[in-house]
Each structure stands twice: as structure tokens, then as C-alpha cells.
Amino acid sequence: MHPLTLSTAQLSEIALDFERKTAAGLARENQQIKCLPTFTPLRKQPQNGRVFVLDLGGSNLRAGVVRCKKGELELIAQSPKIKMPWQRNIPFDREQYLDIQANALANLNYREKADLGYCFSYPAEPTPDRDVILLKWAKGIDVPGTLGKKMGRLLLDHLAIRFPEITCSGVTVINDTVAALIGGMGDLDATASIGLIAGTGTNMAAAIQPGDIPKLTADHRVSGLLPVNLESGNFSPAHLTEWDEIVDHQSNNPGEQLFEKAVSGAYLGNLFKAIYPDSVFNATLGGAELVRILDNPDRYPADWSNTATMIYNRSADLIAGALAGLIRLLHRLQNKPGIRVVAEGALFWGQVQGHYQYRARTESTLRNLLSGFNLDHLGIDFFRKDHANLIGSAMAALTG
């Protein structure tokens, strides 16, 4: 079998390992899968009002204003996607980083006082005051002077000094995976909820009862499910290859984010380049260049097309393996008949030759694995919510 092709037995092993390590992250601090609880219980009704929203992803920034009326949320103003000018593995100026976000809010031309719902898509520790402390950058990004800082407070202070016309009265910061989970969750009584990002980067989140998070102190065991950001990109799966080792060694964070480096769009091009180091393949374009080969196989050597397909399929299979492990854990904790996976990301929802091949591959592999675990009776719903990150961030900010 080719090293890039994983058998059902290997994927089952990965699923069981993911389940064990997620349980360890819920129980103890400083585990490989961190399981960071977000202190926004999911059962509270959002308040009526308007909030600013920001969504900072791997490549793009979006801003908007969301209105909530009688529990219904509507995006009433939004910016176009703003391409972040940072480059992977090159430090980016902190003031420019803050200015870009502030300008996005200013250009909405909304001058009323409002809270900010901030979707921040990098490893960060949630704090009880609804902010986050940056643990590390990922996806090849680095902004010096920000590690260990409260990212919401950093932006609010910058707005107060440089953009006083934007009156943000407070900030709620959540991870993009948590935002997707909150924005697209279904009936919490009948369905276990998972947030999934499979795009430039990757991560998962889950809605979990505080009593099933042993590391929480008594003060934080509030009523209602809590969104838990797994930081699953740091999972170290078995059966990686020598080419994965090359990608890891050449990255700006060797030994970290091994799962992300094996599956996410930011690194799939690097993996192809590691296999064909002397080729003209442009790895800086990441997964987009890989998809170009998949879309136009006749224009490339047959071995390129075959390798691109194996890299793409392995990424979907690894996502499926991690999902299977998380579903096993949630089934043991909650025993609900349905699983909703709120999925976001250009890799997951991007089309190859006119079809959602990545989504189809992930679902097929997941169902096969669940069948082997005697969980094929579970209903699996892969769900896509328009503006999920912005809506989810607004819901978090409006849940007081």
C-alpha cells in the first residue's frame, strides 16, 4: 500500500487515539489536544440589539454588523473579504495587523455604541471575561509582540487610541470553530454538535456539558452546554510519512500542529513539493495549486495527478478519522441519536471537477469507520450555515 493511502484499520487506530487524547484534554491542562472551554453557555437566549463582528481567518478578514430581534439574527452590514497582506513564515507588523482590522470596522460606517463579537482563528486560551490569550500563531503566521496578550483587549485599546469614532463597549472573542458551532447548531436535546474547520487551517469544537469537563473548577461549571475548542490541529496522528517530516522540519513551528500540516490547505502544497522537490510546482499557493491539478489532470504528468489525488484523499480520510474519534466520545458522554457537523472551510466545501468531492470523501470514510465501531445507527448531518462565523460571533457577544 502507498504510504499516503491509509487503511480502515489505520484510520480506526487514529480515531481511537483521537478519542483518548480528547478525553485527556477535557480532564487535564497542557495536553496534546488542549480542549479549551469557552465561557458562553449555549442555552441562553441572545439579547436584542446590534453588535460589530469581525472574522479573522487564515487568509481573509471580514467585518459586519449583526442585529438580533426576538432571537433572530441578521447580518445587516458587511465588508467584502479583505485579503490579509501577511505572508507565511515572515513576521508581520503588529500595528499594521491592528490597523487593518480597525479600518474594516470603520468602513462599515456604523457609529452607534455596540459590543464586538470577534472570531479569532488562532490557538488562544479563553478567559472568564470572554477574551482570549494568544498561545501561539499557526498557519505560518507570526505577529511579534502579541504572544501572551489578550487579543480582544489589544484591539479595543488600539481602537480607543487610533479610531475613537468606533465605540466598542466590550468584546467577546471566540475561535472560528466555536463560532461555526454556535452559528449552526441544531436541536441540542436530540443532536450532539461539532464544529469543523477544514480550509487554510483545521480545527474542531464540540458542545459538552460542564460536568464532563473534569478540569473545570466549580466556579466555571455553569448551567448549559459549553463550546469546547479542541485545538485539534496539534493532534499527532500515527502513520505520517517521511514527506510529512520534511514539511514539519521546514515549517516555522517544528514538532507542532502535525495534524494541521497533514490535512490543511496551507500545507498540502508543501507536501506535494516535498515529494517532488525539483519540480516547478508552486507550493506557496497551497491547496489551490493541488486542486488545479485535480481539476485538469490531462495537463499534468500522470504521477502528479495520482499523487495530488492521494494527498487530497488522505486529508479527507484523516478528518474523518478524527471526527469518528470525537463522535465516539460524544456518544459515550451524551448518547444522542444525531450528530450535526457544522463545517466551514474552502477545502471542505470547495468543488473539484464540479463536485464536493472532499465533503463526499469525508462522509463516506466517516460512515465506514462508524460502522466498524457499531455506531452506524447515528444520523450524521454535515451542515453549512451562511456567514456562520459572523453569526456565531454575534450570538456569543449577545449572550450575557
40 found inside a domain: no
Judged by average pLDDT, the poorest of 57-66, 113-122, 325-334 is 57-66
Task: Report whether 362 contacts 210 (CB < 8 A).
Answer: no
Q: At 134, which amino acid appears?
A: L
Task: Look at residue 221 in the predicted model and tell me its pLDDT.
Answer: 63
Quick check: 153 pLDDT over 80? yes
| Residue 62 pLDDT grade (very low, low, confident, very high; cuts 50, 70, 90) | very high
User: How does the average pLDDT of the chain come out, rounded?
Assistant: 92
Per residue in 192-242, pLDDT (tens digit) is 999 999 998 899 999 999 999 999 987 666 777 899 999 999 999 999 999
| Residue 3 pLDDT grade (very low, low, confident, very high; cuts 50, 70, 90) | very high
Q: What is the CATH number of the domain that holds 108?
A: 3.30.420.40
| Residue 4 pLDDT grade (very low, low, confident, very high; cuts 50, 70, 90) | very high
Per residue in 293-335, pLDDT (tens digit) is 999 999 999 999 999 999 999 999 999 999 999 999 999 999 9
Domain housing 109: 49-177+389-398
141 found inside a domain: yes
- Of residues 60 and 133, which shows the higher confidence score? 133
Quick check: 138 pLDDT over 90? no
State the Cα–Cα distance between residues 97 and 383, nearest whole angstrom.
Answer: 32
State the Cα–Cα distance between residues 90 and 93, nearest whole angstrom.
Answer: 10
Task: Look at residue 224 in the predicted model and tell me its pLDDT.
Answer: 79
Could you tell me the three cell numbers for 135? 498561545
325 found inside a domain: no
What is the reported pTM? 0.89
23 found inside a domain: no
Q: Which of these, 139, 84, 120, 122, lies nearest to 269 by C-alpha position? A: 139
Count of structural domains within the chain: 1
136 found inside a domain: yes
Quick check: 89 pLDDT over 90? no
Residues with Cβ within 8 Å of residue 118, at least 6 apart in sequence: 53, 54, 56, 151, 152, 155, 171, 172, 173, 174, 393
93 found inside a domain: yes
Per residue in 350-377, pLDDT (tens digit) is 999 989 999 999 999 999 999 999 999 9
Task: Look at residue 58 in the predicted model and tell me its pLDDT.
Answer: 67
Task: Report whether 124 contacts 147 (CB < 8 A).
Answer: no
68 found inside a domain: yes
321 found inside a domain: no
